[in-house]
Structure 1
Amino acid sequence: MINTILFDFGDVFINLDKNATPNALKKLGLLQWNPALNELNQLYETGKIDERTFLEGIKQFVPKAQIHEIKEAWNAILQDFPLDRLEFLQMLSDYRLLLLSNTDATHIEHFEHKVGESFARDFYSCFEKTYFSFDIGMRKPDKETFRLVINNHNLTPKRTLFIDDKKENIESAKKLGFKTWHLNPTSEDVTQLFEHLKKTHA
């Protein structure tokens, strides 16, 4: 019987447009996403560099763009957060709830500004703890990221459901014994949790 649910954030609660940021950067002059930008992203996502260093790093590839334009383009991926998902989350009082997200300080700041202080506070208060990669210095699918959460909360993986939209994160969690739901954001919604549990888990 599942007693804990570990949620991802992007495309589970907040909707993402994964083409929006590449398209916005392209308009600023970026020819293509490249390994150097990928490395820069991972450094920022694990808190190894600050926002200014990250944005200046992107600016090297789009020299004519202003920093505020780059930041706006970076945040373009973040879309709406349907209220019914928050309301559903608030109904899950029978479970221990945790959040584990690969994200950066810029995106979280933008999310909180976009939805407002009250909404963000209500969302965060649903969880025993929220884990953001830029805060903890590690990211999924690294198994040590999951082990940190397991150890901090004395979790039993076989009684914990991990929900994520990325296959590599799901596979890593499965190897540690988690129950998983590889949520497809184009055809499924986190509010269908109970239907999913009925179909797949005791």
Structure 2
Amino acid sequence: MQNIKNVIFDYGNVIFDIDFRIAQNAFQKLGVTDIESFFAHKGHNQLFDDLETGSISPAEFRAGIRKAANNNDLTDQQIDDAWNSLLIGTIQENHDLLLKVKEKYRTFLLSNNNEIHYNWIINYLKTTFKINNYDDYFEKAYFSQHMKLRKPNTNIFEQVIKENNLNPAETLFIDDSPQHIEGAKKVGLQTLLMTEKPAQLKDFLKKNGIL
């Protein structure tokens, strides 16, 4: 990669392992049918976009799951457990790696996230790694539910660029979703599609000349 001064990282399946299939199976067990159109990596029910942009509350999301499962008796815990089941975890090496990349570039995190997942992740980081949040690992960490925006829409990239006075031509965006990569390209960012697992992040960055 040439003339890179800034790196924007996605979170899920770049730094942190997630598996959509586990959540698909969990939702099916709750009674949700037609799971491929309801929730998948490349497309899903509007319910998930609305949660990720903070347009609906966790309580409203859970009500939507009960409706989709045709089961008003589902508890909040059952729904949260199914939803959080896709969250696998990360490794200490990736946190060390992020600090190393931060020494060389201005670095940012840009994640489509939501309140239910965010709370689980923060608790996981505290209990597993004694980390309170990602403030020390990036110049700034951006989460869709706080921004009221989500990838791949160009306005979320434009906000990060504007707030941090970034030159898109000197800024690399790394994500595992092709549709998010396309959104980033529209605003002039350089891009890399992450095809390896998060455990191979170091090798991926070395292969592409970032380290």
Structure 2: give runs of 5+ residues left out of the alignment: none
**CA shift digits 1:120-168 (9 cap, x unpaired):** 4363311111111100011111111110001000001111110000001
Report the counterpart of residue 92 of structure 2 in structure 1: 83
- The amino acid of 1:77's aligned partner reads L
Report the counterpart of residue 148 of structure 2 in structure 1: 137
Structure 1: give runs of 5+ residues left out of the alignment: none
The alpha carbon displacement at 1:119 in A equals: 4.0
2:7 is paired with a residue whose SS is strand
Q: CA RMSD in A?
A: 2.1
**What is the CA–CA distance in structure 2 between the aligned matches of 1:47 and 1:83, rounded to whole Å?**
30
1:52 is paired with a residue whose SS is helix
Tell me the TM-score normalised to structure 2 length.
0.87
Relative to structure 1, the CA distance from residue 27 to residue 89 in structure 2 (aligned partners, 3 Å threshold; closer, same or farther) is same
Q: Is the 8 A contact 1:59 1:67 kept in 2?
A: no
Q: Is the 8 A contact 1:24 1:76 kept in 2?
A: yes
Number of residue pairs aligned between Structure 1 and Structure 2: 199
Greater shift after overlay, 164-173 or 181-190? 181-190
- The amino acid of 1:42's aligned partner reads D
Report the counterpart of residue 65 of structure 2 in structure 1: 58
2:45 is paired with a residue whose SS is helix
- The amino acid of 1:14's aligned partner reads F
Q: Is the 8 A contact 2:90 2:198 kept in 1?
A: no
1:116 is paired with a residue whose SS is helix
**What is the CA–CA distance in structure 2 between the aligned matches of 1:18 and 1:8, rounded to whole Å?**
16
Report the counterpart of residue 115 of structure 2 in structure 1: 105
Report the counterpart of residue 194 of structure 2 in structure 1: 183
Tell me the TM-score normalised to structure 1 length.
0.91
Aligned counterparts, 1:26-65, within 5 A: 26-33=28-35, 34=37, 38-62=45-69, 63=71, 64-65=73-74
2:169 is paired with a residue whose SS is helix
Report the counterpart of residue 12 of structure 2 in structure 1: 10
